[in-house]
Structures are given as structure tokens and as C-alpha cells.
Structure 1
Amino acid sequence: MDVQLYVYDLSQGMARQFSQALTGIQIDAIYHTAIVFNSVEYFFGQGVHRKIPGSTHHGRPMSVVDLGKTELPVDVVEEYVESLEQVYTPESYDLFLHNCNNFTQDLAMFLVGKSIPEEITSLPETFLSTPIGQMLRTQLDQSMRTMTQAPDAMSGRNANGQRSHVSTSTSASSLSPPKPAPNAIASKRTNSTNSNKGAEPKFINHQLAIVSSPGHVYNTTTASEVDSLLSTARDSCAVIFFTSATCPPCKIAYPTYDELASEAGHLPTARLIKIDISASHSAQSVAQRYLIRATPTFITFLKGQKQDEWSGANPAQLRGNVRLLFQMAQPPQHPHANLKLPTFQRYIERPTLYSRTPPLDKLLTKVGDQFSSHPSVQDLISYIKSREAKGMQDAPLPDLHNFSAHLSSTFPSLPPDSHFAVIDLVRTAAVDPRVSSFLTTEPSHNTLTTVFPKFESGVNFTDAKYNVQSVTLQLACNLFSSTIFQEQLFRHSEEQSTSNLRGTIETLAAQGLLSPHANSRSMAAALIYNIGAYNHNERIHGAISVGSEKEDGTNNLGVSDDLTAALLESITSLSEIASHPASPSSSNVQETLHALLLALGMLLYGAPADEMLWDLCRAMDVREALKTLAKDSQWKAEPLLREVGEELLGKGGF
């Protein structure tokens, strides 16, 4: 699909005419740019906008630049644009440092691996190098906002993206060097620095889970609309409020009914319906169907069956009856909701990432000149250094397409002892969601396929050196900084390429769990934590109801039985590693036990009785193994031994 750059001149020709006299240098235009892809014009102003090409308040572009073609699916592009919205917010706009041209640079690099024209990206530096530029910087930034974030962009014609997401923002603009997207942080294992501050990557279902969309009143007038709404609520509850424009008492009930509709937000399929029988003949027909003789009249339904009916504008009665209905419509709670499990009775907000940047000069020395002297590698190193110095928002992405091609062609011929350094370089870059998004959407996952073990060829990951094990597992964890990666892994796993990638990552985790190195086991447990967190959040969001199922009719952990079996074996055999003469320090082994129990507890919490994991726990006598560990002075201070061993496997077992 074609990708174009729309270039506008905010000065309407005045920059070309007067810049030489005012600044001493020639400036041809004050640039505003946008990316046009799939008949949508994407640009940044008061947030990220999607408009019909050419319909913005900037008028017609002064030029259109063909950037090339992309094979990326529209859904993937839209997911990436949504990830950029975390950084390109209305408050973050800056005429010189963070504007539309930063946004188009990021999007162009993602779509076609090509920068926008240099005369656009270099303009801020050129202007600010002049005395008048330094003197007027603040005043220009403030005065130009009325143009770059103009209110009439709000009423422009929106172009619906593939995911039907339209930003409520305005237009953008101006002078700027290339600039990036959301930042990567992590949970416990993230060694973050101030330079990596930015939007925190979260699990894609976290915000939806914790911010329950408040319900609203469905105003209807036809029988078909009522039937459709009641059908949607057949597994929950519904209320029909029959009212009339000529009924003064009805107005007393309106605020209470609206309030109850908001309370219904925790029941996604509950429906509060309002029918004005004076509005039309069809509304009167609905009233006749239900034999309505007065207004206001309320009828409630529970699980598809009529529950109650009453008339009269009594707010207290209305609240009492409907709140009781809500309670009756709640799905039965899972027994784990009543256990003492503070570690697991919460949403998992953020993935575990490994963001520490290694000494880059030493890393390049270990890689060797054959690999590190290539321009794409030097550009990647410059990007990482810029990210460390200025923060992720001020670090322009390098040409990742070029780096990937170089990596895939040279990696197999590199000395095996240098492989870990190359993987560590990719791992370091992948903390940036833009980089991990690229790795996810790259054709055939070229970079990841190159650096990940070739399991299909019989490779055993546990035979790899510890440094290779550690950076490979950390790279797999860092991919979760990208919401696109999460989307592909959790929601599109049926696709062949994604299925293969998920299989590789699960095999990495399973074999890492059986590594003779305790730290590798800890990192593999972190990977399981990331994989299992999405399903855990779904259970929490659904109040971990008994017997709840996924859309495809299954009810699983989101991880394979082989992976859960490896996790259990890793836990039960950990004491052998701890007693080994070459074992790491006791603090490292304790951290490994904590990581393993954290992953196991998250998989167990809310799991239905028929889940294979329970059978595996019983067959491998995991509860007894944890009891034994709890008696050992080396482990007894670990709080998860109680939560997982006594509460989940003991009181919460089936």
C-alpha cells in the first residue's frame, strides 16, 4: 500500500519571502507534515488525528512526497499509531522539539524504513542557530499554537481507522528534528534510569479492565431495538423504563435511572432501556405489547426472564429494586476471591522488562569489527546513546530495516562467543516499544528468527552458555514493551507466523526453566509472568467467575501444558540447584524462587477446577514440596510460599 508525505507551509510563503532579511538565512517554509496511508491522513497537534486526506484546516499541501510502499496490515499500522498516542499528547506539543514532524518521522520509519526529507527535520536546529531564533523561541512556540492546534481541526472530516478509533484532537505542526514514541519501563526487574522516562508500557487489557466503561441509558422506540437489547442481556439483566413527555412524575425518576445506568458499568451486558411512548406509534406498540397502562412503569429481566414490574416515581424503590437485580445478575465468584492473596488479587499493570544498558564500547569489542563497523550498527549505537542521554522521546530511530538485513546476513558467520553481545544489543534496543513493534511486524520476524534458537533443528537451549541464555530470555521479555506484540500474541495467535513466534517464546521459557543456572530460571519465570498476565487480567476483569469461557469456547491459562509442567519441575528441583557446589549466592536463588512462585501463583489464581494445571500440581506433589521448602531456614522468609502453598494449593485447590 502506498505511503505519502503531505507537506504544508504554515507561513503561506512568508518564510521564503522574509526569512533572509530577518534571520540572515534562507528558510523556504515552516513545515507541517502528515502521513497519508490507506486513505487516512495521520498527523499530530492536540494529540494524534485521523482525517480524510486534504480536509484539514491547513488546506492543500504545498507538495506530496511518495515515501514508498508498505506491506504492513492496516490493523498493525493502527495499533502502532495508537501506541504513539501515549507520547504524542496535547500537553507534549512543542514547536521546536516535539511536533508533527517528529510524529511523521516515527511513522515513516515504521512503515517504510525511510526518513522524511532532511530539510524538514533539520529546520529547528537551523533556525535556533540564529540569534533571533534563540531570542524568539519561547514567544514563537506560544504564538504558533493557535495555528498548529487550531480548533477548527476538531470539526474537520474524520477518517475512520480500521479499528474505529478516532482521536478527539486537533492539528499539528512545525519545525522539528525526528522524534520517538512511548518509553519502556518495567516492573521489578527493570533497571530503569531517568533517561528512559516516558509513557509506561502496559498490558493492552489493563486499562480496559480497571476503567469499567460506565453503562448508559438506551433510548429506543421500536420493538426490534428492544428485542435486540434484551437478547444482548440474556445472560445478565435488563430494565425497561416506560415514560412519556406528558408525564411530570417521570422526570423525577430520570436522574436516578441515569445513576443506575452508570452503576451497571461493571456488568458489561446489562441494559437499561428507556421508551417514550409518546414519541411514535412504534413506541406505543411496544407499550401495548407489555400491557403498559401508566407511566412511569418499570419492568426488570434476569437471565432472559421477566423478573418484576411496578409503577410510580419512587427513586428509593427504583434504586432498591434495580441494585438487587444487579446483585442477582452477578456471576458466581470463584473461591479464590475469598482467599488471602494480596499478591494476586490485583491487575497486572506492566510487563517485566530488562532495560539496563550495557557498556556499549565493551559490547562492540566483543562483537568484533566484522559486525560492528557496519553503518547500521553504528546508527543503532548512536540511537541508544542518544536515548540514554536525552530520554526516549528525543531519540530518533535508526534504519532498522538496514540493521535487520545486516544482522541476518552476518550473524551465522560470527564467532559463537560473540553471539550473546549481538543479542544483547537487540535486547537493549527492544526496550523501546517502537523497536519491539518493528521486530514484531517484520516479515517472517527476520531479526528474531536470526537470534532466537533454532528449536525446529533440535537445539537445546539449556546447553547454551549462561550469557546467551540470559540475554535471549531478556529480549523475549522486552518484546512485551510493544502493544502490537501483545496484540499479536494474545489476540491473533491463530495466524501462522504469530503462532510460530509464540511457540518459540514458550519453548524458550520452558527450556529456560530447566536451566542449571538459577538466574536463567528467574528470567524464564519473568517471561511466563508476561505471557500469563493477559489471561490473569481477563479473569480479574470478569470477577474470575466460575466456568467463564473465552470466545472460542475454551478456558485455558494462555500457556501450554508443557510450559506449566516445566514451571512445576523447576520449582520442585530448585533445592537441588541451591545445594550444588557451584550454585549462585543464596540471595539469587531466593529471588529465583520468588519469581517462580509469582509465575505459578498467577497461573493458578482463578483457574477453573478442570484446568490441567491442578492435575499437574497434584501429580508432582507441588504443595508438599512447598511445605518442605517453607521449613528450611533458607526459604521460610519467602511470603509466596504461604500464598501459593497454603492458600492457593491448600484452601483454593480442587
Structure 2
Amino acid sequence: MSKVELYVYDLSNGLARSMSLQLTGRQIDGIWCVFAPLVREGVQSWTGVLMLDRHTSVVVYGKEIFYGQGISVVRPGTSHHGRPLQIVDMGKTQIDEETLMDYLQEMRAHYTADKYHLLDFNCNSFTNDLVGFLTGGAIPPFIKDLPADFLSTPFGAALRPTIDNMYRRGPPTPTPSAAAAASSLLTSVAAQASGSPPPPALAATTTLTAPLQLATNPASLRSLIHAHDAAAVLFTAPATCAPCRVADPAFERLAHDRAAEGLAFVKVDLDVGMGRAAAAEWGVTATPTVMYFSQGNKVGEVKGANIPEIATQVDLLLYELYPPHPHTQMKLPAIQAISLNPILFSHVPDLNVAMAKFASFIDAAPTPALDKQNTKDLLQKRVVPLLEQTKTGALQPAQLTPTLQEWSSATAELAKSLPPAQLFPLADFWRIALLSNPLCLALASSPALTAGLSTLLSLAFTAGASAPRPFLLTSLRLVANLVAHDELSRLLLLSSDSQRQELVAWLVGALLSDDAAVRTATASVTFNLAASQQRTVRDAVLKHKRQPEDADWVVEMVSALVEALDREVSSEEVVHRLAASLALFVYLSPVYATQLGDLLDVLQARAVLLRKLEPGGCGEKGVQKKEVRALVKDLAENLCP
């Protein structure tokens, strides 16, 4: 008998707690993510850090056991992870030391370095399995649930492809926007977590090992079944069972091909650890057997190497988890043809003339605390040249971060010192800056770089649609460009309920403005927001992921768009953008059946839309452009009850 302890390590030295809220919009104590520019020989690349902050190992019989570069056994407290942050008492084990060492020897063939995955199959996967073997229990949920908590945030979802690429067997595939920036330093973090560099890319064509989990005892199997919405569990004995040697690779391919959020693929080898005990608990009498579970309950079983039937039952599980959206069965050519490319305000004025005008505003500012000369020097000598490089496509990134840091601080001071009527040149400078992808990635790298922009946006939202026209217009165009970058807009506009509420209230007021230019700019913002939401929804549908549940702001946007369409009788361009925005918010929406369908009915959206096609509905003759008429009809007749 021996005491069993779980050693919990803080690999980030406390940075996880301080950084996660700013980066993910949620307090996740176990995730630390930082981006930073890395300049080498004048060329800027981007590095990132993401680590599972809570690394764990098991201490029993005077030995510390952990998984990284395979299974390692050391004296307690002497591993490369340093001092444990926390020691959790997991109870006592009746397993003798010799049996434990035999078990670990068997496990070495399964917990190998090439199967390690930072999120899906890591040190915590191993300790949960080992604790189950030793005590029949499981490691605490605050450790087990870390990856799911992180990946449920927009930032985590954006980084998932980058993390997967680190462990992909074969050449890495491109990942979009900020996620692509993370790969370099992520690799070094994985090395710290696993104990050595991740395995080099292999020539094999298989992808990740991670979707297939291992269970070697009854406790760890129960834990995996109950930790997921659904599970497919293969009971196998390939060393002695010829059909198992057929079923095993087929099941692994299914795990790769049908990988989905909420669905676990688990393999139990009866000849490994307490595999036979795990099989006996579920009444397995032959191998191979695949059992299917939903919400912890057994719902099906396939005996033998009947690969088509095994795959069919997996598809039924997926259907239960992610039933097809009714819109996927509809022919909506005009809606499906909407480009999801954002509308950008890309005009760049004479920056020297704009700066001269803004300098006069700074000189006239009554605030003594504002360092006027240094602020003007920063803008004239560093920010304007930076924007000129953006305009010509010749951005030199070497001094990007220091300039953005100082510009952010100056923006916050200027927002306090000048009235909104005089801030439109500053807002326009930021609008131009957001046309640069490298610059947007830099902004997304650190909350410190976006603090000034956040202050400026808050001022615009507070002023609302009654703000001075130049400031309102430039702010709307700024936000349209910002929303074109998903990670940055999530960070600055959508990471919290309060942010979304401020944004929606501002847009609702501007949509109903009497100023045609303001309505056009606002419709551009709503379209970019809707396109971003649609990209997320389509990705969820295609990849069997949970769709976003932040429905309240979408419902409010849909209400505002219908009202704005009803009132828009002069600009066909505005009608086009509003109708496209409404279509993208509604199409494939996870709350269409429960909220949006009824809302559109109550708002009489079908009649509102069809009136746009009639004389006087939009201009003297109604909407005339063929593609706009097709979109309005598609939306009204198919998606509006």
C-alpha cells in the first residue's frame, strides 16, 4: 500500500492567471498565450506561446511518474518541471509496486513520444489513466477540463489549427491570421511540456494521433465515457485476435476522419494493464467489439470486424450530436453565393495634410497634462511614415511594436484631451493602420498595444449616433476595417457581453440615421460582422463543432436590420448590404428554430423585404439590380416565415 499524490506544476510561473482573461475573454487559470514579434536580421516573424499551464505527474512508492517524451520515472521533485505548485492527495493504492512497474512497462508501448499532443493526449491524459489504475479515481476536473475550456473561447479556437500542425505527421498546413503567427514559440513550449522537442515531421500521410484516446483500466474508461457527450469504444486484443488487427487501423482512421467536438474515440486493449477488467465491466465477450455511448449511457454495439457497420454507428452518434441544420437541405443560390470577404474602407488621404490639421487641434488643446510636442513628433515622425508604408505595401516591421505601444498610449491621452469633433483624424489614422495584416497581428499580440484603440472605440460608442459627423463616420469605417480581422475584433469588440452590448447599441442607432453616408458605413460594419459570424457557423457545421451560443446580440442585430430595411427607401446599395447582413446572420444560425424564425415572423420580415422590390420600396421603381432582387427574394421566401 502506498499514498498516491498528484503533483501539479505551474509552467507559466503565474502568467496564466494574469493573461488568460485578456486573451480569451475568460479567466482560465491554466492557459497562457502570448504573441510577440521576433526580428532577425531586419525580418519580422511572429512567435507565440500556448501552454497547458497545469502539468501533472503522479507520485507513488517514492517515485514521480509522468508522460512527455514517453513515460519517465524520477525521484519526486527532481523533474525538469521544477517545484510543484500544488500537491493533491489522491488517496491510497492497494496495487503493489511490482505490479505498478509491470503496468508502466506495458504502458510504454502506448504512451509514446510520437503520440503526445499538447491539448488532446498529454501528461494529464496519462496521469488520469494512472490514477484510475492505482485508486479507481480520476484527476480533478479543473485539470482535465483545461483544454476544453480553452478551446471553447474564440482565441483558443483560432489557435487550434496551429497547435495541431505542430503534431501533424507530414508537412504543416497553412493556418489563418493570428493563429499562423503562433507556430514557432509554440514548438518550444511543447518541448517544455513534453520534456524534449516534439517529434520531427514524418513522411507518413496520417495526421494526428490525438483523436484516439487510450483507456487501460475501468476507472479511466468510465472517466472518458462520462467526460464526453458521446463515445465510441473499441475493445480489442490485436496480439491474439486476427480480426482485431483489421478493426484497429480502421477504427483509428474513423477517429481521424470523424473527429468531432464532444465525440471521443477510445481504444481498450484487453492485454494491456487492466483492459480485461474494463471489458468485463461492460460485458464484452468477444473481440473486436465497439460500443457506443451517449451522455454516459450505452446506446449501441457492434461485434466483429464489420467496418461498414462500425462507421454507420459512428455516423449515427454524430447525427445525434450535430443534427443537420434545416437550411443545409434548402436551395438558396443567392444566399449561398454571398462572398464572405469583408468590405474595407481602403482610401488613404494625403497624410501630411491630415496630420497638419490634427496638429492644429493638438496645439489648441486646453489640457496642460498633454505633452503636445512629443505627441506631434510621434505622429509626424513615426506614425505617419508607418501609415505611408502601409499605403505602399512596403511596411518595415522592425520598429512596429515600439511604435504601436507609444501610439496606443498617445491615443488614450488624446481621447481624454480633445473633444470628439477633433478626434476624427486620429480615428482615420487607425482605420488606415488596420488595412495592414502584419499590423493587425501585432495589435492582437498584446492588450497593451490595443489599449489606446479600445479607449477611442469606447468614446465613439458612448457618443453614439449623435456624435459629430466626421468622428462618427471615421469611427464606423474604422470598425468596419477592424471587424475584417476575426481575432482582433473578438478581442476588442466581442470578448464580453458588455462589449457586444455597447457595439450593438451603437450600430442600432447608426443604422437608423438620416445620413445616407452613415447608414452605408454602418451597413458595411454589420455585413462584416455577419460574414465573420457566418464563417464561424459554417466551420462548426462542416467540422462537427458546437456552434457559438452568444445569441442575444445576434437577435438584437437581426431586429435592427429588419427595422433598418423597412426604413431604407432611397439607397439600393444600403439595402443590398443590409439584406446580405440579415441573410448571413440567419442562414445556418444555431438559434434559428428557437429564436430567429419566430422573431422574423413577428417582425413581418418577409413583407418588409418584398416591399423593397415594389415601386417606392427603394427608389421610384424598387430594387432594380438583378443580384440584389434575387438575394431579397431568396431571403424573404425561404428564411422568413
TM normalised by structure 1 equals 0.59
Deviation at 1:318, TM superposition (A): 4.1
Larger RCO, structures 1/2 (Cα 8 Å, 6+ apart)? 1
Structure 1 residue aligned with 2:377? 375
Q: 2:19 aligns with which of 73, 85, 94?
A: 73
Where does 1:14-93 land on structure 2 (aligned, <5 Å)?
A: 73=19, 76=22
Structure 1 residue aligned with 2:568? 574
Q: 1:601 aligns with which of 576, 579, 583?
A: 583
Could you tell me whether the CA contact under 8 Å between 2:34 and 2:445 is conserved in 1? no
2:85 pairs with 1:97: no
Instruction: Tell me how far apart the structure 2 counterparts of residues 214 and 647 of structure 1 sit (CA, whole Å).
Output: 43
Q: Deviations over 1:428-455 (max 9, x none)?
A: 2233315644896569x44543465466
Instruction: Tell me how far apart the structure 2 counterparts of residues 485 and 269 of structure 1 sit (CA, whole Å).
Output: 27
Alpha carbons of structure 1 residues 300 and 590: separation in structure 2 relative to 1, 3 Å: same
Deviation at 1:597, TM superposition (A): 0.9
Could you tell me whether the CA contact under 8 Å between 2:483 and 2:528 is conserved in 1? yes
- Classify the secondary structure of the residue corresponding to 1:516: coil
The farther-off stretch of 330-339 and 608-617 is 608-617
Alpha carbons of structure 1 residues 391 and 291: separation in structure 2 relative to 1, 3 Å: same
Structure 2 residue aligned with 1:539? 537
Instruction: Tell me how far apart the structure 2 counterparts of residues 253 and 261 of structure 1 sit (CA, whole Å).
Output: 12
Deviation at 1:573, TM superposition (A): 1.3
The farther-off stretch of 589-598 and 334-343 is 334-343
Alpha carbons of structure 1 residues 560 and 297: separation in structure 2 relative to 1, 3 Å: closer
Give the letter aligned to residue 386 of structure 1. Answer: Q
Could you tell me whether the CA contact under 8 Å between 2:22 and 2:447 is conserved in 1? no
Deviation at 1:531, TM superposition (A): 3.4
Structure 1 residue aligned with 2:268? 275
Deviation at 1:361, TM superposition (A): 1.8
Alpha carbons of structure 1 residues 302 and 76: separation in structure 2 relative to 1, 3 Å: closer
Q: 2:612 aligns with which of 629, 633, 650?
A: 629
Give the letter aligned to residue 472 of structure 2. Answer: Q
Over the aligned positions, Cα root-mean-square deviation in angstroms equals 4.8
Instruction: Tell me how far apart the structure 2 counterparts of residues 434 and 313 of structure 1 sit (CA, whole Å).
Output: 49
Where does 1:293-442 land on structure 2 (aligned, <5 Å)?
A: 293-302=285-294, 304-319=296-311, 321-322=312-313, 325-326=316-317, 328-329=319-320, 331-342=322-333, 344-345=335-336, 351-369=342-360, 371=362, 374-378=376-380, 379-392=382-395, 394=397, 396-397=399-400, 399-410=403-414, 418-431=422-435, 432-434=439-441, 436-437=443-444, 441=448
- Classify the secondary structure of the residue corresponding to 2:541: coil
- Give ranges in structure 1 of 5+ residues lacking alignment: 1-37, 41-51, 53-68, 108-154, 170-197, 205-211, 579-588
- Classify the secondary structure of the residue corresponding to 2:527: helix
Instruction: Tell me how far apart the structure 1 counterparts of residues 412 and 284 of structure 2 sit (CA, whole Å).
Output: 73
Give the letter aligned to residue 558 of structure 1. Answer: W
The farther-off stretch of 510-519 and 376-385 is 510-519
Q: Deviations over 1:450-478 (max 9, x none)?
A: 4654665xx4524632x333211011223
Q: Deviations over 1:606-629 (max 9, x none)?
A: 343565554553444332232122
Where does 1:248-287 land on structure 2 (aligned, <5 Å)?
A: 248-265=242-259, 267-280=260-273, 282-287=274-279
Could you tell me whether the CA contact under 8 Å between 1:366 and 1:418 is conserved in 2? no
Deviation at 1:239, TM superposition (A): 3.5
Could you tell me whether the CA contact under 8 Å between 2:609 and 2:636 is conserved in 1? no
Q: Deviations over 1:588-612 (max 9, x none)?
A: x332221111111112223435655
Could you tell me whether the CA contact under 8 Å between 2:407 and 2:452 is conserved in 1? no
Where does 1:93-242 land on structure 2 (aligned, <5 Å)?
A: 96-98=41-43, 201=177, 216-234=211-229, 236-242=230-236
Structure 1 residue aligned with 2:627? 639
Alpha carbons of structure 1 residues 416 and 239: separation in structure 2 relative to 1, 3 Å: closer
Instruction: Tell me how far apart the structure 1 counterparts of residues 598 and 241 of structure 2 sit (CA, whole Å).
Output: 62
Could you tell me whether the CA contact under 8 Å between 1:490 and 1:534 is conserved in 2? no
- Classify the secondary structure of the residue corresponding to 1:381: helix
Deviation at 1:513, TM superposition (A): 0.7
Instruction: Tell me how far apart the structure 2 counterparts of residues 232 and 537 of structure 1 sit (CA, whole Å).
Output: 28
The farther-off stretch of 240-249 and 536-545 is 536-545
Could you tell me whether the CA contact under 8 Å between 1:567 and 1:600 is conserved in 2? yes
Structure 2 residue aligned with 1:140? none
Deviation at 1:424, TM superposition (A): 1.0
Give the letter aligned to residue 243 of structure 2. Answer: P
Aligned length: 467
- Classify the secondary structure of the residue corresponding to 1:275: strand
- Classify the secondary structure of the residue corresponding to 2:423: helix
The farther-off stretch of 598-607 and 425-434 is 425-434
Give the letter aligned to residue 212 of structure 2. Answer: V
Structure 2 residue aligned with 1:652? 639
Deviation at 1:253, TM superposition (A): 2.0
- Classify the secondary structure of the residue corresponding to 2:513: coil
Q: Deviations over 1:398-440 (max 9, x none)?
A: 5344444544545676587643223212222233315644896
Instruction: Tell me how far apart the structure 2 counterparts of residues 428 and 634 of structure 1 sit (CA, whole Å).
Output: 35
- Classify the secondary structure of the residue corresponding to 2:268: strand
Deviation at 1:262, TM superposition (A): 1.9
Alpha carbons of structure 1 residues 405 and 555: separation in structure 2 relative to 1, 3 Å: closer
Deviation at 1:203, TM superposition (A): 9.9
Could you tell me whether the CA contact under 8 Å between 1:239 and 1:300 is conserved in 2? yes
Deviation at 1:574, TM superposition (A): 1.1
Could you tell me whether the CA contact under 8 Å between 1:386 and 1:394 is conserved in 2? no
Alpha carbons of structure 1 residues 611 and 326: separation in structure 2 relative to 1, 3 Å: closer
Instruction: Tell me how far apart the structure 2 counterparts of residues 257 and 622 of structure 1 sit (CA, whole Å).
Output: 48
TM normalised by structure 2 equals 0.60
